Structure 1
Amino acid sequence: MSQYFLSVHHDSAGDAAMAAMTEADMQRLFTQVDGFNNRLQAEGAWVFAGGLMPIEQSTCVDATGERPIVTDGPFSESKEYLGGFWIIEAADLDAALAWAAEGSRACEGKVEVRPFQSE
């Protein structure tokens, strides 16, 4: 089994849509993602997952110079940012892509799939 990183990306358009969601819409989304997480666990594909706080709450540490420099905000300016992720185990890329399709439906957003480097 190989491990794959399934990442959920957000952008300003998605932020606006999320801000406009009702409480019922948010609960529906949470229920969908929870169901997907439960299925990953039941089928033995789950390693771990997490949702991330908004990009405005990020901090960047640059220790490439003499002293570390710590700044508020994201590392780079981008239209998209990482909002959450799953780490899964799957037999192959096709299986990981099938899980990503289910995850995309559950979170109602795009999911990027990247394999981890093998040893």
Structure 2
Amino acid sequence: MQFMMFVVADPAAEPYVPEEDNIAGWVADVTASGARITGDRLRPPTHATTVRVRGGKVLTSDGPFAESKEWIAGFDLLDCASLDEAIAIASRHPMARFGSIELRPFWPIDVSEDPRPRATREAGG
């Protein structure tokens, strides 16, 4: 199963402690396991552009559409055998303490896509 893992900045979380930020180790670990496909940080909401089409016209505005103290600070794309595996990976991310992590399973547009977990596909089962 593939999951989008949103890394969320949350001002209500534990205070950020730079010395306890093990993100480089987390990235190396999860990438080496084959579960992390890609990921990166995102610029703050002040750098966002919101795009809408109304009445056939493209409208853009600076910043996010919704006002929120929480914001998506980064993402990772995971390929896991199960939701439990994705939760275990997410729980080791430093932002699970200093923010929050949201996991969402992919909902493929292509209905012919193989929905079996990576381990099952690789095992030929």
Q: TM-score under structure 2 normalisation?
A: 0.74
Does the Cα contact within 8 Å between 2:7 and 2:95 map onto a contact in 1? no
User: Which structure has the larger Rg over C-alpha atoms?
Assistant: 2
Per mean C-alpha deviation after superposition, the further-off stretch among 57-66 and 105-114 is: 105-114
Note if 1:101 corresponds to 2:91.
yes
Q: How many equivalent pairs are there?
A: 108
Q: 1:105 to 1:68 in 2, by over 3 A?
A: closer
Question: Residues 104 and 117 from structure 1, CA distance in 2 versus in 1: closer, same or farther, beyond 3 angstroms?
Answer: farther
> 1:4 corresponds to which residue?
3
Q: Using the alignment, how far apart are the partners of 1:94 and 1:38 within structure 2?
A: 20
Structure with the bigger percentage of helix: 1
Gaps of 5+ in 2: 112-125
Confirm or deny: 8 A CA contact 2:7 2:100 kept in the other structure: yes
Match of 2:117? none
Answer with 47-56 or 3-12: which moved more: 3-12
Instruction: Note the residue ranges of structure 1 that are not aligned, 5 or more in a row.
Output: none
Partner of 2:118: none
1:65 Cα deviation (Å)?
Answer: 2.4
Q: How has the CA–CA distance of structure 1 residues 91 and 85 changed in structure 2, closer, same or farther, with 3 Å as cutoff?
A: same
Distance 2:99 2:10 in 1: 10
Match of 1:54 in 2: 44
Distance 1:85 1:38, change over 3 A: same
Change (3 A) 1:8 1:73: same
In the alignment, the residues of structure 2 paired with residue 52 and residue 79 of structure 1 have an alpha-carbon distance, to the nearest angstrom, of 16
**CA RMSD between the two structures:** 2.2
Give the TM-score, by structure 1 length. 0.78
Question: Identity percentage over the alignment?
Answer: 32
